[in-house]
Amino acid sequence: MIKSIGELNQQVQLATKVVEIDPDYGGEENISWQKGNSIWAKVEFLQSGSSEAVSSNQKTNRTAVNFTLRFREVSTTQDVVYKGLRYEIVSVLPDVDRCYVLLETLQIGEYNNG
């Protein structure tokens, strides 16, 4: 996984979904994303993990990226924000010693807090 702490050389942020209920509009949900503090990470773009998905009857590229961070609690309900792009966390894989955590992700678009 990580051989040297110097491999964590890119800054990323974890974004958490915030759902607010608006009582003035019949309980309509307003969804936004709140970014946390910057975290140092190792970023690995996976050529073999990239794929195409069908969206609206058109193929769209999906880029697979692994992010390795120092161990912390992370959930698949969160997203990673890296260089203005949002990545959906597909799986969270802590190492045996719980020193690092590997996040397997797919790029889902730009971060726009909405």
- The residue ranges of every structural domain in the chain are 5-110
Q: Using a pLDDT cut of 70, give the percent of the chain over it.
A: 85
* Residue 86 · residue 109 · CB < 8 Å: yes
Give residue 30's pLDDT: 86
pTM (predicted TM-score): 0.82
Does the pLDDT value for residue 44 go beyond 50?
A: yes
Q: What's the pLDDT tens digit per position in 91-112?
A: 999 999 999 999 999 999 888 8
16 pLDDT band, cuts 50/70/90, is: very high
Does the pLDDT value for residue 90 go beyond 60?
A: yes
- Long-range residue pairs from 58-66, CB within 8 A, at least 24 positions apart, any chain: 62/106, 62/107, 63/106, 63/107, 64/104, 64/105, 64/106, 64/107, 65/105, 65/106, 65/107, 66/42, 66/102, 66/103, 66/104, 66/105
75 pLDDT band, cuts 50/70/90, is: very high
The residue type at 6: G
Distance CA 79, CA 88 (A): 5
Domain 5-110 sits in CATH at 2.40.10.270
